[in-house]
Chains A and B, each alone.
Chain A
C-alpha cells in the first residue's frame, strides 16, 4: 500500500487506536458555547469515538480482524449502518461517522454509488458491505478488492493472487440493488431454509439445507448461528482446497452462495436412474444418524456433497474427477471463455452425454424427469377423462341441469399416501413401519410420499430427507415404482368412472366425482325440494357409493382410499381430511358451518402460509374468524379474487363445479439442466429440438398458439462456470421475450425460426446459456375437419403464398398437393398431363411462387385471390352445401371430358411475361383482352371450359354471382369459393361492386411493383397493339373476335377505360415508363367520385359574373382601390375632379353594392375619399376643395341610392 491514501488515514487510525475513554469527565462533555459549532462538532466526534472505544473494550473476545482499518459508510447498505458499525468496531476497526476528507479513512463502504461519486471515489478503496460481513464470517480480513464498488470496468482483466501465483482474471461482477438484494444478508436470512454458508463451494457440505421451511424462524432467532457454522465450514473449505478442485473463482467470488439459495428451489429436472438409489441406500447410516453438529464435530471429512433427489448419478464426482479439468492450472481455467470452458467440460464423454449437445438429450431429458413424467401422465389422464366424459354426456343425452338451490353430492376420492402405499406393496414388510418414498437416502432428497406410521413421527410430504431422519432415524426409504403407480392409478380411475358420476381428475391419485345425479335418482327428487326422507335417502346413497368405491379400489389395487363427501368441492375436500386414513366422511349441510369454522385457515384448500400469514395479520386464525370480518377487509388484505374466495370458503361456499375444465393457457417446453453449448450451431440445433418438443406438446393438447415467449437463463456474471449442482444452471439472470405470431401455429419450422431469431436478439454468447424455455400462449384449439385436416384456423401457408392460393384447396388432396415437396415451378414448366387429367388433382397447376422475384408474380386483377378449381373431386362436392355445389357443378360437368392442358399453354404462360412473347409460338392460346383476366386460370383450362367461361362474360345473368364472390367471406369459406370472379372484372360496367373491383385494381397498380405488374399483364389484343402485331398468327383471330364482342357489350365509358388501360399497359411494356404514376391521382379522384356519387361526375358550377372592376387596371380589392383613389385625388388636387371620373367611380361603387354585394367595400371607398378630401392639402384653393367636396357628395349619394335600391335603408357613409 503506502500510497497517499495511507498518510492521513494512518494518523486517524492511530488516533482512534490511541483513543481511550475512561469516564465522562473529558472536556468534550462540557457544555458548548453559543456559536461554537465547530467546537461542538469536534466534541461530538470525540464522543462518538468514546462510544466506539467502549464497544471495542466490551468485545475484546472477538478476533480483531479489522485492526488497522478505518471505515466510513456511505449510503444505504445491507446490513444497516448500525450493524456494520458494530461489526467493524467490535472486530477492532475504526469507524468514522463524519468524513472530513476522503483520505481520512482506509475504506469507504457503500453498496452503490452515483455516477458522480463513482468518478470522485475512483481512486479510493470503495468496498461493498459484504466485505465486512464476509470478513467477519471468515474470521479474517479478506482482500478488499474482491468487493470493489468501483472497478476498472467489466472488460478489464485484473491481477489476482492464487496460491502464491499471480493470475490474471476476468473482472466480472454485477452491480445494482438487485444483486445486493439477492445476495444480501437479510435475504439470505429470509431464505434461510436452504441457506448455505457464504464462501461455500460446490463441494461444501450443506447440512443446513435440510432445514424445512418451518424452521426459518428459529434460524432468525439464533442470528449468529450462520456465522458459527460458516466459520467451521470455512475451515473445511481450507482443508478441501488441496484436493485439486478448488476453483480460482473462489477467491474471486467469495459471496456467490447466497444466490444459490434461490436456485435450489427450482424444480429438479431429471430423475436419476434407479441405480444410484440403490447406491445410496447402501450407506444410509452415515447420513441418517447424523445431525448437523455431530457432522460438524467429527465427521467432517465424511460429509458427502448434497445428494439431491434430482441429481443424476454421475454427480459432481465426474466434474471433480475429470482429469481434463484438473489438469489445467486454475489460472488457465479462469482465463477461458465460457465457450472454451464448456468445450473442455464437454470433452469428457460422460459429461457430454448428459448435456444438450448430445443428440438424444431432449428425449432422455423428458424421459427421465420425474416431474415431467408425472405431469404428462396427468395430462394424458385428463384428456382421457375428457374424452370419456364427452362420450358419456353425449350418450347420457341430458346432463343433469343445475338448478338453483339444488343439493349437490361431491366426492373427493384420494389415495392414502399414494406413492408410499403403492411402493409398499413391493415391500410389505415395511407396511407398519414408517416408510417414505424418495429418490434416495441422501440428506437432500425430498420425500415424495410417506405412509401413516411415518406421519405419526411428524414426517410429511415434501420434507427434506435430512429433517425426516432427524425425526425418525430408522425411516425406511422406498424407491419410486412408476409402473406400479400408473397401474394403480388406472385401476383407481376405472373404479371411479364406474360410479357413473361426473369425474374431474385432480391428480393421478385423487379425483372429484359429482354423484348428485345418482343420489337424486335414488331419492326420486329434483334435489331442490326438501323432503325429510329424500335427503336422508340421498345421503345414504352417497355414503353407499363412497363405500363401494373404496372397497373396489382396495380390492383392485390393494391400497386404501379415503372419500370425503360434501355439498361442493370445498366441503368434499374438507370432509376428506376427516376421512383419512382409509375412511370416509360425509359432511352434511347442517354441520358445514360448524365444521369449517373450527378449522384453522391454513387448512382450507388453496390456503397456505402466505395467505395464512396475511390473514393472521388481520387477526384471523380460524375459519370462523373470517366470518367476523367484512368482505371488503378481506379483499383489501388478500386482493379481490382471493378475498372473495376466502369469504365464500368461510361460509362453506364453493362455486366451482366438478368437471369444470381449467382451460389451458399455455404450453411450454423448458430445459435448464445440462445446458452447455460450445457454439451457436449447437444452440440452433437445440432450439430446433426444443421447438419440436413444443410442437409435440401443442399437438398433443390440440392447440395452436399465437404468442411465443422465450425464456433464457444466462449465467450470472458473478456465478461460477460450474454451478454447485452438476450441470445445473447455477445462478442465472433470466430474460424473457415475447413475440406475437399473428396467426396461430404449432408448426415446428415456424416456431423454430422465430425462436432462433429471438435467441439472436438476446445476444447471449452460447457458452453463457444455462437454460432455454419456450412457451406458447394465446392458444387456439385446433378443430379437426371431416377429413382430419386442420381447418381450425387460417391456413397461413396458402394465404401467404400468393399464387398457390389459386389452387383453392377444396379437398385434402389439394392441400397435400400444395404441401408437396417438389418445386412447383417445375410443375409449370413441364406440366404433367395426367396430373391435370386426374380429377382428384387441382386442375390449375401450382404456380411458381417466389416473392423475391416479383417479375414472376402475375398481376391479380381479380377481386379476390381465391379461385376455385374447375375440376372437383366429386366426393368433396357431394359434401359441400347445396348452393356452393350448384355453382361448382357448372364447372364440374366439363371436367369429366376435359382434355389435358397442352404444354404449350404453360409455355405460353411463362413466356408471356417476357417481352418477346409476341413471337412466341405459344401465342396460340393468347386470350382476349386479358388485361382484365387472370391468365393463369384461363390458360390452364381445357378449351371447352374456357369457352364456357368466356360465355359467362356475355351472359347477363352472371353478374350477380360474380358480385357475390367479391363479398367478404370468412377464411374457411374462401376455400370453397366458386371460381367466377373474372366475369366481375369484365362486367364491371354496372353495379356498386363493379366500382369496388376497379378500385381494387387501382390499388394494385399503386404498388411499388407496378412495373412487374404490367409486364406480367398478358398480351393486349391485336388491334390495339401496333408494335407487336408483326407476327400475328391465325390463332389470334379468335381472341380478337371475342375481344371485340366483349368490348361491344360494354357500356361506352367502360369501354373507353378498358382501352385506355390497355394502351397504358402496352406503353408500360414497350416504353418502360411508369405512366401509372401520372395516372394515379386522376384515377383516385375518379374513384372518390364514384364512391360518393355513383351516378354523377363533378358538378361544374356555372361561371360567376365577373366582379365589377374599377379603372383600366381592373381593380377590385379595397387596398388597391384606396391607392387608386388616393392617386386620383392627388392628381387632381389642384383643379378638382372631372365629372366623368366621379361618375365612373359612382358607377363602380353602385356595381359593387348591387353586383358584388359588398356594401362594406363601397362605403369604405367613399369614406376613404371623404377623408382624403377632408385631410387634403391646406394650400388647395377653396374652389378645388368645394369641387372635391361636391364630388364626394355625389359619390356618397350614388352609394346611398344604390344601397337604398337594394332596400337596405340609408347607410352612414359620412
Chain B
C-alpha cells in the first residue's frame, strides 16, 4: 500500500500514465507508424515501445493531458483510441471504460480518499504493486492483439476520443481541444455498425477500475 495519501488526482495520474503507454503500444502493434520509429523502453517493468518522433510524442502527451482534464471533471465514460482508414472509416477502437472511477467534487480532487470495508478496515485506495501488475498484464495483452485482429489496410490514422457519461457536459470552451460528435450509435453509415468486440482485460486495483477491450469493425473490408 502506498504511503502517500491517495487522492483522485493520484489515481487519474496513474491512469493517464498507463494510457500514454497504451497508446504507444497500440501505435506500434497496429503499425500506424513504421516500426523503426519506435524505441524500446521499460514501463511497469515491461518492455514497451515508444514512438520517438517528437511530434508524435507531443501529440500524444497533449491528447492525454486533455483526457486527464476531462477525467478530473469526472464526466468521462470511456476513452477510445480509434483507428481510421485512409478514407476516414473507423476500423478499430481500443476502448477503456473508466466510468467506474470514483467521482468527487472538483474541490475534493486533492482530498485523500478513504474506503472502509464493512468491518471497519481501511481498504487500500490504490495498491501500487497490484496496479502495476495489472497494467503490465493489460499491456502485454495489447501487445499481442495483432494476432487476433485483422491486418489494417494501408495508411491508417488514429485518434483519441472520449465518450462522456450520460450526464456529462461536453467541454465546450475555448480553447477547444475536443471536437464534439454525435453518439456513434445509429451512425450515418447505414445504421448500427457491425462490430466485433475483443476483450482485453479488466483492471481492478483498489479504486482504479478499468475495462479494456477492442472493437473491430466487422466486415468492413
Contacts and interface: CB of A to CB of B under 8 A. Distances in A.
B183 to A, nearest CB: 9
A1157 B209 contact: yes
Interface string A1099-1110: 111010000000
A1101 B199 contact: no
A951 B102 CA distance: 49
Contacts of A1093: 110-112
A1160 B102 CA distance: 22
A1101 B215 contact: no
B198 interface: yes
A1100 to B, nearest CB: 6
Contact of A1211 (B112, B198, B201, B204): B198
Contacts of B104: 1099
Contacts of B194: 1209-1210
Given A1099-B108, A1163-B199, A1211-B199, A1157 B102 contact: no
Contacts of B14: none
B114 interface: yes
Nearest to A1097: B111
A1209 B197 contact: yes
B218 interface: yes
B89 interface: no
B213 A1208 contact: yes
B106 to A, nearest CB: 12
A98 B205 CA distance: 78
B197 A1160 contact: no
Given A1092-B5, A1157-B211, A1099 B111 contact: yes
A819 to B, nearest CB: 48
Contact of A1209 (B100, B200, B209, B218): B218
Given A1160-B202, A1161-B202, A1210 B218 contact: yes
Nearest to A1099: B111
A1089 interface: yes
B13 interface: no
B173 interface: no
Nearest to B201: A1160
B116 interface: yes
Interface string A1122-1161: 0000000000000000000000000000000000111111
A587 to B, nearest CB: 63
Interface in A218-253: none
A1160 B202 CA distance: 7
Interface string A1076-1113: 00000000000011001100101111010000000000
Nearest to B123: A1101
A1100 B114 contact: yes
B68 interface: no
A1203 interface: yes
A1160 B111 contact: no
A115 interface: no
Interface string B21-40: 00000000000000000000
A1212 interface: yes
Nearest to A1159: B199
Nearest to B117: A1103
A533 interface: no
Interface string A907-948: 000000000000000000000000000000000000000000
A1157 B209 CA distance: 9
B157 interface: no
Contacts of B100: 1157
A1207 interface: yes
A1211 B110 contact: no
A1101 B114 contact: yes
B111 to A, nearest CB: 4
Interface in A1195-1214: 1203, 1207-1212
B43 interface: no
A1093 B5 CA distance: 11
Contacts of A1159: 197, 199, 202, 211, 213
A1101 B115 contact: yes
B5 A1101 contact: no
A1093 B108 CA distance: 9
Contact residues of B: prevailing secondary structure: strand
Nearest to B4: A1088
B197 A1099 contact: no
Interface string A152-182: 0000000000000000000000000000000
Contact residues of A: prevailing secondary structure: mixed
Contacts of A1211: 196-199
B195 interface: yes
Instruction: Give the most central of B193, B196, B199: most A CB within 10 Å.
Output: B199
Contacts of B112: 1089, 1092-1093, 1098-1099
A395 to B, nearest CB: 63
Given A1100-B116, A1157-B100, A1092 B110 contact: yes
A1157 B200 contact: no
A641 to B, nearest CB: 45
B195 A1210 contact: yes
Given A1101-B113, A1157-B211, A1210 B201 contact: no
B207 A1157 contact: no
B130 to A, nearest CB: 14
Given A1093-B110, A1101-B114, A1208 B209 contact: no
A1092 B5 CA distance: 9
Interface string B177-218: 000000001000000011111111110100101010101001
A910 B124 CA distance: 50
B10 to A, nearest CB: 11
Interface string B89-115: 000000101011010100110111111
Interface string B101-145: 010100110111111100000000100000000000000000000
B199 A1160 contact: yes
A1099 B195 CA distance: 41
B187 to A, nearest CB: 12
Contacts of B209: 1157
B202 A1209 contact: no
B53 to A, nearest CB: 32
A1104 to B, nearest CB: 8
A653 B50 CA distance: 59
A1161 B114 CA distance: 28
Instruction: Give the most central of A1100, A1159, A1203, A1207: most B CB within 10 Å.
Output: A1159
A999 to B, nearest CB: 16
A1103 B115 CA distance: 7
Contacts of A1088: 5
Contact of B111 (A1096, A1161, A1208): A1096
A1157 B97 contact: yes
B218 A1157 contact: no
Contacts of A1209: 193-197, 215, 218
Contacts of A1161: 202
Contacts of A1210: 194-197, 218
Contacts of B185: 1207
Contacts of A1103: 115
Nearest to B200: A1160
B114 A1098 contact: yes
A1158 B198 contact: no
A789 to B, nearest CB: 48
B211 to A, nearest CB: 5
- Minimum-distance CB pairs A-B, first 5: A1209-B195, A1158-B202, A1160-B199, A1098-B114, A1211-B197
Given A1156-B202, A1212-B198, 14 more contacts: A1089-B5, A1089-B112, A1092-B112, A1157-B100, A1157-B211, A1158-B202, A1159-B211, A1159-B213, A1208-B197, A1209-B195, A1209-B197, A1209-B215, A1210-B197, A1212-B196
20 contacts: A1089-B112, A1092-B110, A1093-B111, A1098-B112, A1099-B111, A1099-B113, A1101-B114, A1157-B97, A1157-B202, A1157-B209, A1159-B202, A1160-B200, A1160-B202, A1160-B213, A1161-B202, A1203-B197, A1207-B185, A1208-B215, A1211-B196, A1211-B198
